Amino acid sequence: MPNKPKTVSSEYGASQIKVLEGLEPVRLRPGMYIGSTDSKGLHHLITEIVDNSVDESLAGFTKNIIVTLNQDGSARIEDDGRGIPTGMHESGVSALEVAMTKLHAGAKFDSNTYKVSGGLHGVGASVVNALSEWLIAEIHREGKIFRQEYHRGQPVKGVEIVGKSNHTGTITSFLPDKKIFTDTSFNTQIIEQSIRERAYIIPGLKFYFRDDRTDYEKTFYFEGGIKSLVTHVNLDKKVLNDTIYISADSDNINVEAAVQYTDAYSEIVESFVNVINTRDGGTHLTGFRMALTRAINDYAKKIGLLKEGEAFTGDDTKEGLTAVVAVKIPTERIQFESQTKAKLNNPEVQGIVNTVVKAGLDTYFEEHPSDARNVVEKIALAARARLAARAAKEAVIRKGELIGSGLPGKLADCQEKDPAFSELFIVEGDSAGGSAKQGRDRKYQAILPLKGKILNTERAHLEKIINFEGLKDLVIALGMGIGETLNPAKLRYHRIVIMTDADVDGQHIETLLLTFFYRHMHSIIEGGYLYVAMPPLYRLQAGKEIKYVYNDEELVKLNSTFKNASMQRYKGLGEMNAEQLWDTTMNPANRILKQVTIDDAAGADHTFDMLMGDEVAPRKRFIQTYAKDANLDI
């Protein structure tokens, strides 16, 4: 069971007051500066350095950025900007050392140097330095090459001149500190996605990405900006209108929006502030949604699709929507919620975006009546589906199945009532469900068996989902509702584990469940509550010694040392008895769980649409491309 909070000492005096100097606070509490010390925090280090180079591009000085992953696990970011100043600062050390070792120090506070930037607090480079085993800054400017090396945030020695140069720019190389991060291995796809986003947001800026660990390289350059990004997201989808592009300045704030509708049932919306992906949205996204809903309602009334007093809701306008909203705000005015810059807080931006986007949509609808009608008719279908889903849900509620104590009969609930310490295992089949119920720790582990494959929710409206028995049971068990009544605060379990057989059918069921959670309970994934269990494939026994093996590679290694062992190949969870299932897959001390995360929302959306949607051609291409990589012996 997850550990509950420990009590603290009652002693509290002057000796307990600590003063942290220099970069010590960063190493002591890294999560305050980069969000976490897991993979997300690790990759944030590269983002911080890359964004310094991007800011040079926004200021008009950088045309090329090179990002390299080195074989020794370090990263190198190079640009052709002005180069960080190396002259003596008033504090008594070089300006370079100030930028690399002092929190809240940098040129982002000077609006004459950077009118628009992603930096706000002046902690980016210094935080990366503090959390790196080593960092080397190489500056090209004034015809010279300046170099300074740091060890865990501290300069090894002063700035040195190591050569001559005929160009300008900054090169930053660093190795993440293994004492700080749980894993220091960079993920190519995560970095690639981050670079691609910035290349779309800044047309004309060229990124070169190299992974020397695998000899992989790629170039990113998009003249079309966010309009090209929408086209990329909607690849292989049936679109209902040409991409609507809106751009205007108001109160010294630049607003850009690109909007397109498809025949999909879900939405994908990206928002950016000064090229920073604001994954949690903010006032700019709120303003956009308000404008979109108003514009669609106004046009629907104009063409007679809505009567007086009728209106589409914001949720109706989300179905099939693909949009990118990007604002550029002067550095001195920008207000992020935290250093991770995931949410914009500027209140005035909401009204500015609302006004700009509403005017742009009104103009487009007037000039493109055919596209406009396609859009509003799509929204009208979504509204009818919403009303049908509400009716279906109310019918179920009247039977007492979605509220009160009417938990599904198949659910073996746990005794723990605090969601933070409760787990739900979604198990394939009654046989495995029986073993799981017998083997579990009933104090905090609940079991919900599913019979057979569930509905493919990629192309299903909500009323069909509510009426599907297995999914209805799951919705009731989770307790947070669905659709317009979804309330994440009512989630009954903060660890939800998909536990299926290690065969083709099991993987299909796992994919169907992932599709359901991604499309209809996205907040569960965003909250970090969804996991996939990794049951063993083999059981080896030699005498009284038993070993469990989770993949074929591990089996080959073990066979060379674990002699004369008998082997059992598990083809399903139901082949394990309760004790074996507990020991290998459910016991927190031994089990392996993979947490489901979304680092690339657009990529995830495209994959789900391709694999689970109606279009056959994209799915066929995917299968043909990756068929050789598939393991069919499962």
Please report which helix (H) or strand (E) contains residue 609, including its range.
Answer: helix 601-612
Residue 429 amino acid letter: G
pLDDT of residue 469: 86
Residue 540 amino acid letter: L
Output the six-digit token pair for 410: 């198949």
pLDDT of residue 515: 87
Under CATH, which number does the domain 226-390 receive?
3.30.230.10
Count the neighbouring beta carbons within 10 Å of the beta carbon of residue 133: 17
Distance CA 371, CA 610 (A): 24
Count the neighbouring beta carbons within 10 Å of the beta carbon of residue 616: 8
Distance CA 165, CA 142 (A): 8
Kindly report the backbone phi and psi dihedral angles of residue 416, in degrees, each rounded to the nearest multiple of 5, phi listed first.
Answer: -65, 135
N residues, the chain: 634
pLDDT of residue 390: 73
Longest dimension (CA), the chain: 81
Closest CA to 395 of 494, 472, 455: 472
Virtual CA dihedral for 423, 426, 431, 434, nearest 10 degrees? 20
Residue 554, helix vs strand vs coil? helix
On the 0-12 / 13-18 / 19+ scale of CB atoms within 10 A, 176 is: buried
pLDDT of residue 339: 61
Kindly report the backbone phi and psi dihedral angles of residue 225, in degrees, each rounded to the nearest multiple of 5, phi listed first.
Answer: 65, -140
Domain borders along the chain are: 24-220, 226-390, 406-535+577-629, 538-569
pLDDT along the chain (634 residues), means of 10: 56 48 77 84 92 88 95 96 88 86 60 50 76 95 95 92 94 95 92 91 93 95 92 88 95 95 88 88 96 96 89 92 94 78 90 97 96 94 80 60 64 93 91 88 94 80 82 90 84 94 83 88 91 90 86 80 82 85 92 83 63 63 58 45
Residue 626, helix vs strand vs coil? helix
pLDDT of residue 393: 61
Output the six-digit token pair for 391: 């009716």
Contact at 8 Å (CB) between 425 and 446?
yes
Strand runs (DSSP E) across 345-500, as ranges? 423-428, 445-450, 495-499
Output the six-digit token pair for 606: 């495209």
Distance CA 378, CA 610 (A): 21
Residue 562 amino acid letter: F
**What are residue 73's DSSP bridge partners?**
none
Domain 406-535+577-629 indexed as CATH 3.40.50.670 = yes
**Active site (catalytic) residues:** 428, 501, 503, 505
Q: Which CATH superfamily is domain 24-220 in?
A: Histidine kinase-like ATPase, C-terminal domain (3.30.565.10)
Residue 296, helix vs strand vs coil? helix
